[in-house]
Every structure is written in C-alpha cells, then in structure tokens.
Structure 1
Amino acid sequence: MTSFALLNNVEHKDIKIQSGYSAEMGDGVMYTMTFPFEFRSVQAEYPILLHKDLSNNLIYPVALFGFQDKENLFLDEGGWHASYKPLMIRRQPFLIGFQGEQAAESAERRRVVSIDLNNPRISRTEGQPLFDEFGANTPYLEEAANMLEAIHEGHEHSKKFIAALEEHSLIESLTIDITLDDGSKNQLLGFYFINEDKLQALAGEVLESFSQRGFLMPIFMMLASMSNISDLVSKKNRLEGLS
C-alpha cells in the first residue's frame, strides 16, 4: 500500500533512495505509461502500445515489457537490461504533489515533490541522500524533480495526442498472436494501436497539423516500435529455456 507525503527536509532529512532495478524494488511489471516526447528512446527497446484505464475510460500510451501480469522480460537478478528505462520507472518513489488550496479557478496550486514512504527503495542507511547536511536538495533530488516536471508536461501533451488520434478514428483494438519455440500459442489482448490504413488515408492538411502539434513523429515511433515484439518473444523463449 502506498503512503504518499509531501517531501520536506525536516521529516525526511535522513531518507535515502536505493538505486538499481529488481522485482523486489517493484520493477516486475508488464508495462508502464510512457509519453510521446520519449517515444524516440522508448521505441529503441520496447513496443509502444495504447492501453485503456477502465476506471476512467481514458487511453494512454504504454511501453510493453512482457506478455503477462508482473512479467518484465528485461529484468533478472542482474538488473534491468536495456539502454533506456521509461521515465515512469525511473521516477520511483516520487510523484507530483500539490500544495495549497485552489480557492478560485484562476488560482493554481503549487506543484511539489511527493514521496511514497512505503516504497521498497526507501532506506535510512543506504542509497542516494535527498538532502545535504544543511537541508538543501541534493543533485539527485533535483534530477528527480526535473523528471517529475517532464512527466507533468508529458501528461498534458499525451492527452492532446490521444485526442487527435481519437478525433480521426485512428485507434483500434489490437490482438497479437505469440508462438513460442515449443509450439505453444498465446494471444496478447486488451491493448490498442494505430490503424495504419486510416493513417495512410488522412488528408495532407491533417498530417501537416499533426506535424505542427508534435504528433506525427510519435506516430512514426509507435509504428517502428512494433518490430520489438519479436525481440520480446525471443526473450520469452530464453526465459522458458526454449532457445
């Protein structure tokens, strides 16, 4: 269970964050949210799909790590084996919090760093300190704050990106058939992707608008990322001892 608190240099002055990646640290996940601005880096390693949050019916992009719940095929006892880890993985155990009351529509609450005190990366004895001896932010914490700000901006851009895809009916449900080396067959269900036929039929002015709003390159990166499905299957075969 998470226990988020607004980070401060009095109550949390001795907290340290353990680095590295492992299932014990919470990295054994099948996928994570990703953002269009990082698609170029993400597509070099992972398939980029779309997923619907059934609690609010919202669609968002995800980087896929495996084919079943809690399966991360990039993770083993030696760590996470990929040149790029998505921001939503690297930001742990931090999250954006808000300070102050929003008394009027024109008033904006101040964004501050929040921390999950129950996260397994939290330590009092080892890891990266958050504050120095004078209570100032360490470079590590400053980097984390910058990541959170990038995530906040990424959320806003991602909403517009998905809205543009929906406006032109470019999103379709996706079924991926997976055949392992032992002949066993599986299907990846519950995800969505871009309908390439409808994309190719878009008028030139629509594509130009996509480009101007920073949507066209992410679309291309998503399409290119699908070649990583075969790499995931190969990782799965090795995990199962089939190759």
Structure 2
Amino acid sequence: MANWVKLDNVDHAGLAVARRHGAAFGDAVNQLLVFPTEFEQVQRDYPILFRRDDQGRFYAVALLGLDLDENLFLADVAWTARYVPVLQQRGPFTADPTGGLPLIDLDDARVGADDGEPLFLPHGGSTPYLQHITAVIEAIGHGRNSIAPFFTALDELGLLRARALDVQLGDGASYTIADVFTLDEARLADLPAAALLPLHRSGMLRAATMAAASLGNVARLIELKNARRG
C-alpha cells in the first residue's frame, strides 16, 4: 500500500529518487492510458487506439504490446522508446489535491535509492528533476481535462469508427485487438468546412490526425514482437 506524504524541503531535504522503470512500477502493461494533449509525442513511437469504459466514456491508449502484461518497449529498468507516456513519467509522485508540491510515495523502491537524483537544492529550492516532475503532474491534469471535450467533439461528428485491429506476425501467428475505435478518415474528409474549423482552432483536429497516423507504428510492434519470439 502506498505511503503518500506531501513533499517538504525541510523534512525531505536530502531525499533522492531513482529514475527507473519496470514491472514493479506498473510499466509491464500492453495498453496504457494516454491523453489527447500528448498525442503528437505518443504517435512517434506507439499506435494510439480509442476504447470505451464501463460507462460508455471514450478514452485513448497507447498499444505497447500484444500479449497481456507485455510492454515491448521495456528493457530491464528502462524504456527503449523515445517518449514515455506522461503517466509513467511521474514515477512515485502524484498531485496534491490542496496544491503546491506533489505527494510522494515513501514506500516506493525508487525513493531513497543510492542512484537517485536529489529533489531539493542545498538552499531549499527545487532541483531540475523536481521541476520536471511538477511539470509532468501539471501535464497530467491538463491531459485528463482534455479527454471529455476531445471525444465528445469527435463522437458528435461521427468520427469514431468501431473496429477490430488484426495484427499478423508473418509466420502464421496473429492477434486480434477487439472493441477498439479509430478515426473515421473517410468521414473526416467529407466534413464541411464549418465543422472542421472549430476542430482545427481547438487543436483537436491535429490530435485526431496524429492518432490516425500512429497506426503505422503497428509495424514496429510486429518487429519487436518477432525479435522477442526469436
């Protein structure tokens, strides 16, 4: 169970945190929640798929692997991709509902590690690492707020297409990723300018096209999967 406490430059003056990844830290997953605000970075490495939760609400995931609990971009304690989705960048930190510095899980194995990076400068200010974490947590907040407007706009315009994603490995093996949605590019091309303009001005059109373009990364997943299978 997590032991969340609010960071303090007095009580935690000498505290250091290691930048590590791994199954123990929730990284061994084949799908990871991502936000429309980070689609431009995500699409450089991963396929982006849309799904519905139990209440029918849409959300987006980066496809990291083909089998359950498989992250093909995870090697020992590091990610091999250029971009790590923002939720996994935060490490053992989360937002403090009351504001200010983030909360930290003191029971996380990365906290207090010998190879950790300090959080506070000698005079008490935040180190570049803590500044990065603060920015990451702020980005997560903005990302969460972007989900509902983005998918509401696409759904109202009929731009979300249900499908099953078939992945062929080339030796007869295959995977089917069911119950997903992607951008209906044919429908998008038929939209009148009056409908496209608000999407463009809000940045949602760019995010949507980035998600559509990201499906080209399925080929990279196949390469990584075949390499692991030997």
Give SS of 1:98's match: coil
CA distance in 2, matches of 1:112, 1:138: 12
Shift in Å, 1:158: 2.9
Aligned: 1:228 with 2:217 = yes
Q: Render the CA deviation track for 1:128-166: whole Å, top value 9, x for unaligned.
A: 111233433222111110121122122222321111112
Q: Is the 8 A contact 1:18 1:128 kept in 2?
A: yes
Shift in Å, 1:207: 0.7
Q: Is the 8 A contact 2:4 2:104 kept in 1?
A: yes
- Provide TM-score, normalisation by structure 1: 0.85
CA distance in 2, matches of 1:114, 1:77: 26
Equivalence for 2:20? 20
Equivalence for 1:107? none
Equivalence for 1:76? 75
Q: 1:155 to 1:180 in 2, by over 3 A?
A: same
After the TM superposition, which residues 115-134 of structure 1 pair with which residues of structure 2 at under 5 Å, given as runs? Answer: 115-134=104-123
Equivalence for 1:6? 6
Equivalence for 1:94? 93
Opposite residue 219 of structure 1, the aligned amino acid is A
Opposite residue 220 of structure 2, the aligned amino acid is D
Opposite residue 23 of structure 2, the aligned amino acid is A
Opposite residue 238 of structure 1, the aligned amino acid is A
Q: 1:64 to 1:118 in 2, by over 3 A?
A: farther
Equivalence for 2:32? 32
Identify the range of structure 1 (200-209 vs 73-82) with the bigger mean alpha-carbon deviation. Answer: 73-82
Q: Is the 8 A contact 1:36 1:218 kept in 2?
A: yes
Please point out which of 146, 153, 163 is paired with 1:157: 146
Give SS of 1:163's match: helix
Equivalence for 1:196? 185
Paired residues, number: 230
Give SS of 1:46's match: coil
Give SS of 1:152's match: helix
Which ranges in structure 1 are unaligned for 5 or more consecutive residues? 100-109
Question: CA RMSD, aligned part only?
Answer: 2.1
Opposite residue 209 of structure 2, the aligned amino acid is F
Shift in Å, 1:228: 0.5
Opposite residue 115 of structure 1, the aligned amino acid is I
- Provide TM-score, normalisation by structure 2: 0.89
Greater helix proportion: 2
Give SS of 2:97's match: strand
CA distance in 1, matches of 2:163, 2:6: 39
Q: 1:21 to 1:137 in 2, by over 3 A?
A: same
Identify the range of structure 1 (113-122 vs 218-227) with the bigger mean alpha-carbon deviation. Answer: 113-122
Which ranges in structure 2 are unaligned for 5 or more consecutive residues? none
